[in-house]
Amino acid sequence: MFFARLLLLAGLTTATLPVTANTEDLPSLGDSTSGYVSLQQEYNLGRIWLRQLRAQARTLSDPMLTTFLENQIYRLVPFSGLSHPDLEFVVIDQPNLNAFAVPGGIIGINYGLLLYARDEDEVSAVLAHELAHLSQRHYARRVEQAQRQEPVAIATLLASILLIATNNADAGFAGLMAGQAATIHNQLAFSREWEQEADRLGMKTLIAAGLDPHAMPSMFEQMLYANRFSSRPPEFLLTHPVTESRVADAAGRAEQYPRKPRLTSLEFLILKQGAMRRYQLDDSNTEDYFHGIRQRNPRGSGDYAAASYNLAQFASEQQDWQQAQKYLDDIVSPWNQHAAVSALQASVLSGQNKTEQALAVLNEALPYAPDSLVLLTSKASILDQHGDAKQAVDILKDLTTGRSSTPWLWQRLALAAEHAGMMLQAYRANGEYLFYSGQQARALRQMELALKEAKKTGDFQQQALIDQRLRVMAASQSQLN
């Protein structure tokens, strides 16, 4: 039933495949793929898939993690051959090693990927591989190939990927086998030829982006290593089988190029250590773990600074503000100039009701990073917590303008607007949050309340905007029922 819903909402059914492609739908690689699945259909299906994913999987809304993933991908995109880089990103709260790229420009990782990647280049190697699958439209080409044997919809593939991405790989394969048992490998796992193509193009992307091509075979080795100590393969290996011969092939290609210094920014180190804390530590051994890192590394190193940051964050969660400040004071230049450190410093000051000092720290940092999601969301939170919710609303409204499909930003805006007594804005923002979180029915109710509020206040412009948005959401909901 879920497959049929996806098909209907995208305007795609097995009865309509193949279709005659319009000229503007043809991919840049010049094949017949868009005769089976157009770029617009891929886009529609991808957005529906993302909403379904958010409804079924726990995702993370940390601004630093969001920014990190965006930076990794946008460093690669200009060299990836992706002709339509209208992308959406998601981070799943799972410790498993996984990354995925879904038709329509959806790219995601499990936070657990950072447990295995030793540097940013290795993360980028995985993402470059996934971008190659998108640029070459391997999902759509698989549909084209399967149509010649037995009818299959790309929605079926997306539904199975959804189950795997939500850490239900067995159900994903079972669902696929129920519909296409004879061709399960061809339906979900890419062919060896396409995997090699994605490896080759992914490595070209790494090189063009100035990253180390040797990061690809070294990351593959990490995957094989992780697989040896697990009762089941990592999700990434289920859909992208990595063999020793494939590692050797990638290593052979990498040897044609010189090695380059690997990137290990403070952001990466904080997040990698944070993944360790989230998935493999508890409150009883967290401090010992991070103190151990500090003892093994000099004070001026990135590892020491990241461990101090995570200790300060841990102390902040315990509301031990003095201890948190001591750890922050241990972070020396240049690491103490990082936006994340400034944001945590502001949070520690805010926890002590030193609001003016907290805002001063953020205002001092913002001219150097005026678009920083970390700094801006921190400022909005502090303003909201200390009685200036209206200014927080202004900041968050600006952020949602540029990130209109990011659910957690809409949720923060809804809360700030409610605190400011701006109920029309609160209802509308909550409606957007629920819609992009895959909760369409509840989203409709909030938008109806927003429309009622607009009518009550006589705001005809908002009435028109909300009414139009409500129609779009309702159309989506009616076809999912």
Using the predicted structure, report yes or no on whether residue 236 has a pLDDT greater than 80: no
The secondary structure of residue 191, as a DSSP letter, is P
250 located within any domain: yes
Q: In the predicted model, what is the mean pLDDT of residues 236-252?
A: 75
120-135 and 63-76 helices, crossing angle to 10°:
60
- Of 220, 254, 288, the domain-final residue: 254
Radius of gyration of the chain (CA): 24
Using the predicted structure, report yes or no on whether residue 447 has a pLDDT greater than 90: yes
Contact assessment for residue 427 and residue 459, using Cβ atoms and an 8 Å cutoff: no
High-pLDDT (> 70) share of the chain, %: 76
pLDDT of residue 83: 77
Q: In the predicted model, what is the mean pLDDT of residues 288-301?
A: 98
262 located within any domain: no
pLDDT of residue 163: 64
Q: In the predicted model, what is the mean pLDDT of residues 61-70?
A: 96
Helix (H) or strand (E) run with residue 478 in it:
helix 460-480
Using the predicted structure, report yes or no on whether residue 12 has a pLDDT greater than 50: no
- Go through the chain and tell me how many residues it has: 481
453 located within any domain: yes
The secondary structure of residue 21, as a DSSP letter, is P
How many CB atoms neighbour CB 404 within 10 A? 11
How are strands ordered across the β-sheet holding 106-110? 88-92, 106-110, 99-102
- Of 201, 233, 254, the domain-final residue: 254
Q: In the predicted model, what is the mean pLDDT of residues 191-206?
A: 81
406 located within any domain: yes
244 located within any domain: yes
Mean pLDDT, the chain, integer: 83
- Are 199 and 52 contained in the same domain? yes
287 located within any domain: no
Query: Which of 52-56, 435-439, 465-469 shows the lowest per-residue confidence on average (mean pLDDT)?
Result: 52-56
- Of 198, 233, 254, the domain-final residue: 254
316 located within any domain: no
Query: Which of 1-5, 147-151, 258-262 shows the lowest per-residue confidence on average (mean pLDDT)?
Result: 1-5
Q: pTM (2 decimals)?
A: 0.84
Residues 368-381 pLDDT 10s:
999 999 999 999 99
Type of residue numbered 83: S
Q: How many domains does the chain have?
A: 2
What one-character-per-residue DSSP string does 310-368 give? HHHHHHHHTT-HHHHHHHHHT--TTGGGSHHHHHHHHHHHHHTT-HHHHHHHHHHHGGG
Using the predicted structure, report yes or no on whether residue 139 has a pLDDT greater than 80: no
pLDDT of residue 361: 98
State whether residue 31 is helix, strand or coil: coil
114 located within any domain: yes
**At 469, which CATH number?**
1.25.40
Q: Measure the N-to-C terminal CA separation of the chain; round to a whole number of Å.
A: 10
Q: Regarding predicted confidence, which is higher, 427 or 232?
A: 427
Residues 296-354 pLDDT 10s:
999 999 999 999 999 999 999 999 999 999 999 999 999 999 999 999 999 999 999 99
pLDDT of residue 288: 98
Closest CA to 92 of 21, 32, 186, 164: 164
Domain that holds residue 200: 2-254
Type of residue numbered 363: N
